[in-house]
Structure 1
Amino acid sequence: MQKLLIVGCGDVARRLLPRLLGHYRVFALVRDPEQLAFWRDKGAKPLLADLDRPASLHRIAGLAEIIVHLAPPATLRPSGEAGDRRDTRTRWLLAALARGVSLPQRIVYISTSGVYGDCAGDRVDETRATCPGSARAHRRVDAERQLRDFGRRGVVVSILRAPGIYAADRLPLERLRRGVAALRQADDVYTNHIHADDLAQMTCAALRYGRSNRAYNATDDSEIRMGDYFDLVADHFGLPRVPRLPCAEARQQLSPLQWSFMSESRRLQNQRIKKELRVRLHYPRVEDGVAAAANSDDVEKDTRS
Structure 2
Amino acid sequence: MPSNLFPLGALPSRFRRARVLIVGYGDVGVRVARLLAPRVRLAALVRGELGPSDPGAAGTPERPGVTAVQRLRGDLDDPVSLRRLAGVATHVVHLAPPPAQGGDDARTAALLRALARRTPPRALVYASTSGVYGDCAGALVSETTALRPLTPRAARRVAAERRVRDFGRRAGVRASVLRIPGIYAPDRAGGTPRARLLAGTPVLAADDDVYTNHIHADDLARACVLALWRGLPLRTVNTNDDSQLKMGEYFDLAADLLGLDRPPRVARAWAMEHMSPTLLSFMSESRRLDNTRLKRELGLRLRHASPASGLLEKK
Paired position in structure 2 for 1:156: 174
Give, in whole Å, the separation in 2 of the partners of 1:276 and 1:148: 18
How does 1:191-210 map onto structure 2 within 5 Å?
A: 191-210=212-231
Give, in whole Å, the separation in 2 of the partners of 1:141 and 1:119: 16
* TM-score, length-scaled by structure 2: 0.88
Give, in whole Å, the separation in 2 of the partners of 1:235 and 1:275: 33
| Aligned with residue 31 of structure 2, among 15, 20, 28 | 15
| Aligned with residue 84 of structure 2, among 59, 68, 71 | 59
How does 1:62-101 map onto structure 2 within 5 Å?
A: 62-75=87-100, 77=101, 84-100=102-118
Conserved? CA contact 2:25–2:46, under 8 Å: yes
Give, in whole Å, the separation in 1 of the partners of 2:60 and 2:31: 17
Amino acid at match of 1:120: A
List alignment gaps of at least 5 residues for structure 1.
Answer: 78-83, 298-305
Paired position in structure 2 for 1:233: 254
Question: Are 2:44 and 1:28 aligned?
Answer: yes
Give, in whole Å, the separation in 2 of the partners of 1:142 and 1:129: 14
| Aligned with residue 117 of structure 1, among 106, 129, 134 | 134
Give, in whole Å, the separation in 2 of the partners of 1:195 and 1:208: 21
| Aligned with residue 243 of structure 2, among 222, 235, 238 | 222
| Aligned with residue 167 of structure 1, among 176, 185, 190 | 185
Give, in whole Å, the separation in 2 of the partners of 1:185 and 1:157: 40
Give, in whole Å, the separation in 2 of the partners of 1:110 and 1:45: 22
Give, in whole Å, the separation in 1 of the partners of 2:61 and 2:128: 28
Question: Are 2:75 and 1:50 aligned?
Answer: yes
Offset of residue 54 of structure 1: 1.0
Offset of residue 85 of structure 1: 2.1
Amino acid at match of 1:48: R
Give, in whole Å, the separation in 2 of the partners of 1:42 and 1:127: 40
* TM-score, length-scaled by structure 1: 0.91
Paired position in structure 2 for 1:303: none
Question: Are 2:292 and 1:268 aligned?
Answer: no
Question: Are 2:295 and 1:278 aligned?
Answer: no
Question: Are 2:38 and 1:38 aligned?
Answer: no
Conserved? CA contact 1:39–1:46, under 8 Å: no
State the identity %.
Answer: 51
Give, in whole Å, the separation in 1 of the partners of 2:138 and 2:193: 22
Runs of 4+ aligned residues of structure 1 deviating over 6 Å after TM superposition are none
Spell out, residue by residue over 1:179-206, the C-alpha distance to the aligned partner (whole angstroms, 9 max, x if none): 1110000000000000000001111111
Residue 265 of structure 1 aligns to a residue whose secondary structure is coil
Structure 2 CA distance for partners of 1:48 and 1:22, relative to 1, 3 Å: same
Give, in whole Å, the separation in 2 of the partners of 1:54 and 1:126: 31
Give, in whole Å, the separation in 1 of the partners of 2:247 and 2:204: 8
Conserved? CA contact 1:36–1:48, under 8 Å: no
Spell out, residue by residue over 1:89-109, the C-alpha distance to the aligned partner (whole angstroms, 9 max, x if none): 101101111112x11111001
Give, in whole Å, the separation in 2 of the partners of 1:21 and 1:38: 12
Question: Are 2:173 and 1:142 aligned?
Answer: no
Residue 9 of structure 1 aligns to a residue whose secondary structure is coil
Conserved? CA contact 1:39–1:45, under 8 Å: no
Give, in whole Å, the separation in 2 of the partners of 1:37 and 1:122: 41
Amino acid at match of 2:239: A
Conserved? CA contact 1:220–1:270, under 8 Å: yes
Give, in whole Å, the separation in 1 of the partners of 2:113 and 2:297: 30
Number of equivalent positions: 286
Offset of residue 22 of structure 1: 2.6
